[in-house]
Structures are given as C-alpha cells and as structure tokens.
Copies of this chain bind each other. A is one copy, B any other.
Amino acid sequence: MDDKSYHMTPEQFREEGKKVIDWIADYYENIEQFPVLSQVKPGEIKKSLPEEAPQKSESLDEMMHDIDEKIMPGITHWQSPNFYAYFPANTSFPAILGDLISSGLGVQGMIWATSPAATELETRVLDWLAEMMGMPEKFKSTSTGGGVIQDTASTSALTAIIAARERATKFKSNKKGIQQKLVAYISTQTHSSIEKAIKIAGIGKENLRLIDVDEKFALRSDILKKQIQQDKKEGFTPFFVCAAIGTTSSNAIDPLKEIGEICLQENCWLHVDAAMSGSAMVCPEFRFLQDGVEMADSYCFNPHKWLFTNFDCDVFWVANRVELINTFSILPEYLRNQATESGEVFDYRDWHIQLGRRFRSLKLWFVIRHYGVEGLQHHIRKHVEIARNFKTWVEESGDFEIFVEPPLNLVCFRHKAGNDFNMKLMNAVNETGKAYFTHTKLNGNVVLRMSIGQTNTEEKHVKKTWELILETAKNL
C-alpha cells in the first residue's frame, strides 16, 4: 500500500502553530490600528479569492499571507476596544487557549461515554457558575435541574419553547403534531429570536402575543395578565412567556417577579433571556435586576457576550431536567451503551437539538480559573462604571440626551437634532474607522447605542470616542 501522506506532522505543527500564536498576539497589540468597521464593498473579498480550489497542496505561509492581504480588510474588529456595536462578542486569551485544547483533543461529547470528562466538566462548571451568580438551587445538577452549553441564545430559546410545548401538551405534540391552540408571550421589545423559534416550533407568529411596554421599555405585567385571561376565554392555551433581563434595543429589564407570579398561576413556562446582562450577576449588587428568578423554568445567558469567553458559549439552565430530557431524548441502537442505560450519567445530546457537540466547557473553565471570581467581578464593574461616566458626559453636553436610564453597560443616547441627524452622525463616526456603534428605534426615535463591554475597553477608549462623536456632530 502507498505510504504517501499529505498530513502535517506534529513537528510541522509545533513550528506553524507558534507562528499563528505570534500572529494573534501581534493582532491584539495592533488592533487599534485597524478600522473597526470593515470598509469593503459587497463582493470585494469574494472577487479576491480564486474561483476554484487548489489541486496541489499550499503552504501555511501562503495562507497567512492571504489572511493578511485578503481577509483582514473584510474583518469588522469585534475584539477592538473601540467596538461598541450590538452587544459585545468577547474573547480573551485564556478562552482562546481553552478552545485550542478543545480543537486539539477533538472529542465528541454527544453522550457521556464518548468522553466522560466533556460531560462532567461541563456539569461541574455550570454548577460553579450558578453559585457564582446566586442562581436558585433548582438550576444546579445537584438538585432537580442542571446546565448545558448551547451555541446561542436563539437555540436556547427554541429549546425552552419546545420543552414548554411538550409540557403543556403532555408530550402529545411530539407524537401527533400540534393540535392545541398554543399561545406564547413576549414584550414588543423582546429579541427576534423568540419569533423565529415560535415559527420553527410550528406554533405560528400569530400565536405570539407582543405585550406593550412601560416608559422604560419593560414588559407591562398588568397587560400580560389581561391578555392571558382573554386568550383563555377564546380557547387558547397559554404555555410560554419569555422575560428579558436586558432587551437588545435598550437593555430594558422585564419585571421578573410579577411575570413569574403570573406564570405560576397560569401554568406557563417562564424562560429568562439574560443573554448579555446575565454576566453582571457575578456581582451581587446587580442581582436585584433579576429578583424573582426563582420562579423561572429556564434561564440563558451568553458568556460569549460579556464574560470573556469566545463564541459559541451560551449557558442554558433548567429547573427540571426530566422535562427537558423527555422532550429531546432519542436512543437508537448504535448509541446504546452501559453508562446510558445505568441512568447514572447525563447524555447531553438529550438536552438540545444537536447530536454532536464540542468540548466547550474547557474555555469557560479556563476563563473562570484565570480571572477567578474576583477578576470577573472587577472587569464587569469597571464596564458599568465607564457606562455611568459616559452617561454623565452625555447629560453634561447640552446637545445630546440620555434616552432611557441605563441599568448596566448599555447607554442609549441621542443628539437632540432628530432622527436623520443621528443616523448621519452614526454613519460618519463609523466611517472614520476609529469606533463602531449601532442604532435602534424606540417609540419611533432613532437612538444611538453605546454598548460598553468589549474585553479590552477602558475609560480612555470611551472618552476618545465620545470626543470623536462630539467633533463629528459639530462638523455635520
């Protein structure tokens, strides 16, 4: 048999891998020199790449050259300290190293037996996190619940909706398809992922009620209660409510305690989406924002947003794991094994949609251990403090105003000159490449979002960006 091999040898990997490590370190040392928002036009990157795959092997040097020349101009630098758009999607060096080890080990944690450490480390680290964040005991694996890492908050929402659907229909939907008139509730401000998930789940957008919000853009629980009553009268089965601890537009905090009580009365599954702001719960002083969380059936937040752990890492906790497992469990012969049949282990494929799964808890474990609880608290607090200072600058400026009181690290502000001016201002600042932020609309008003949470953002960056905004506004 032919012994020819195209594989890279471990020795080559040592050499090439160290070059890549240096490339990444160089990138972070120079990151502020790149325009934060990529300036390329549609199709430019694609055009620069060959139309066909190479027949022959190419060297890593050629690839790294193309990364620098062809890919980098098309990168929007989410890891720049001057990135204030959307919500952050953070990495940190310990997270990168944890993920590198995961790539190296290349294990598939679909069931316990296919790598016990991948399952058990995940369970343990999510119990750690629950404790660190003051979450209710029921979310821990040592109680009735437990946590699992999902890819995104969208997937967690879908997972929660399906489990809620099955609980409400006594698992009949899984068998016969949806036959009841199910109805779900969110606020007008809740993330679009819930609408998407409601569609995927076969429930239909028309059966998702958008509940009005108060002046702080938080769900009005009195209206929720009335709507549920009305729906019941009309023969619908209310089954699911999603409360946001921090909406995407303005970081509005839904009143969890009031919503939770309604859900208990009405037997609705309560899912809490704390995608970005959940990270703040490592600091006890912010936990009042989610007072009532003990009434939730499920909760998700993204360490890949504000807890310095690279994508994808969404943490999803449930209060009652049996409901979740009964919803998603499937056991074909080729996956049967002694450990599963003993019932002593978790098989995480039964906790989500996918079968295959990467060893994602490694990066989270590395982050928690590298920073320690106190390090994570320190950096979260620092971002909130910077946001508060930014708010003061806006208020003192005269031309700008704060649109809604920021509960944490997202500041919604605007120039007093109206919608068009604000859009122009934002685009002009973003085009300089020195900072990148995005907008939303609240009650018809264009509002600028200063989302302060990138791993390396310090006060000096925000100060400089604020000066750039002021100057750009003056010149418009």
Contact = CB atoms under 8 A, between A and B. Distances in A.
A162 B353 CA distance: 14
A420 interface: no
Interface stretch (A117-125, A214-222, A225-233, A288-296): A117-125
Contacts of A89: 106-108, 356
Given A25-B11, A96-B104, A332-B192, A373 B54 contact: yes
Given A58-B370, A113-B76, A120-B74, A334 B53 contact: no
B28 A22 contact: no
Contacts of A113: 37-38, 76
Contact of A441 (B40, B54, B333): B333
A312 B106 contact: no
B356 A152 contact: yes
Interface string A346-389: 00000001111010001001101111111110110010011001
Interface stretch (A173-181, A261-269, A316-324, A401-409): A173-181
Nearest to A365: B63
A59 to B, nearest CB: 8
Contacts of A127: 51
Give the dominant DSSP class at A's interface.
helix
Interface stretch (A13-21, A252-260, A390-398, A464-472): A13-21
A101 B67 contact: yes
**Closest 7 pairs (CB-CB, A-B):** A202-B202, A74-B117, A177-B204, A6-B375, A17-B21, A24-B104, A91-B106
A102 B11 CA distance: 22
A115 B75 CA distance: 5
Contact of A356 (B101, B154, B370): B154
Given A8-B370, A75-B105, A152-B356, 6 more contacts: A13-B25, A56-B372, A57-B370, A63-B366, A76-B107, A202-B202
29 contacts: A3-B458, A13-B21, A13-B28, A23-B101, A42-B116, A45-B121, A46-B120, A46-B121, A49-B121, A53-B129, A53-B369, A54-B368, A54-B372, A57-B371, A63-B365, A76-B116, A77-B107, A89-B106, A91-B103, A96-B100, A96-B103, A100-B103, A151-B354, A158-B200, A158-B353, A173-B202, A176-B206, A177-B206, A200-B353
Given A311-B106, A354-B155, A438-B334, A370 B202 contact: no
Given A46-B123, A177-B202, A440-B333, A92 B4 contact: no
Interface in A234-277: 248-249
Contacts of A84: none
Contact of A353 (B107, B154, B203, B304): B154
B53 A131 contact: yes
A131 to B, nearest CB: 6
Nearest to A179: B204
Interface residues of A, number: 172
A162 to B, nearest CB: 6
A38 to B, nearest CB: 5
Contact of A79 (B106, B153, B196): B106
A82 interface: no
B369 A54 contact: yes
Contacts of A335: 192
B7 A312 contact: no
A428 interface: no
A204 B176 contact: yes
Interface in A82-114: 85-86, 89-97, 99-101, 103-108, 112-114
